[in-house]
């Protein structure tokens, strides 16, 4: 079974600074997909960024980028120029072939003014 671990339950960052959220996973699969989802307080979960395991290039979406280390089974999320609206729970998720997401426990990020 796949497991996803987020070792930082809570983090905080000053507005405009950069923060990195960690995620590790365990799988014997070679073909899979990784996602970061954001869940703002009392709001719905939205996709931040996704990465296909077969792609060596790290995914980037505006201020969000990942550091994907396949051999180390690590998938961290870097948020640059943090904004107050980035305050949310962030979930790392794993999906192999099939449509079942396995989530990590989440990291609560607080962006401070």
Partner 1 sequence: KAGVTQTPRYLIKTRGQQVTLSCSPISGHRSVSWYQQTPGQGLQFLFEYFSETQRNKGNFPGRFSGRQFSNSRSEMNVSTLELGDSALYLCASSLGQRGNTDTQYFGPGTRLTVL
Does position 67 interact with partner 1 (CB under 8 A)? The reply is no
Cβ distance to partner 1 smaller for residue 16 or 100: 100
Q: Is 102 in contact with 2 (CB distance < 8 Å)?
A: yes
What counts of helices (H) and strands (E) characterise the chain? 0, 12
Q: Which residue, among 28, 38, 39, 27, has the nearest Cα to 94 in the 3D structure?
A: 27
Cβ distance to partner 1 smaller for residue 71 or 97: 97
Does position 40 interact with partner 1 (CB under 8 A)? The reply is no
Q: What is the largest CA-CA distance in the chain?
A: 42
Cβ distance to partner 1 smaller for residue 10 or 17: 10
Q: Which residues bind partner 1 (CB under 8 A)?
A: 33, 35, 37, 43-47, 50, 52, 91, 97-106
């Amino acid at each position: 079974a796949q497991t996803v671990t987020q070792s930082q339950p809570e983090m905080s960052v000053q507005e405009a600074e950069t923060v990195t959220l960690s995620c590790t996973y365990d799988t014997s699969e070679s073909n899979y997909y990784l996602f970061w989802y954001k869940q703002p307080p009392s709001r719905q979960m939205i996709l931040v960024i996704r990465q296909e395991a077969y792609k060596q290039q790290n995914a980037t979406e505006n201020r969000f980028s990942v550091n994907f280390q396949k051999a180390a089974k690590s998938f961290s999320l870097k948020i640059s120029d943090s904004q107050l609206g980035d305050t949310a729970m962030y979930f790392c998720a794993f999906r192999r072939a099939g449509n079942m997401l396995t989530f990590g426990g989440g990291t609560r990020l607080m962006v401070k003014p």
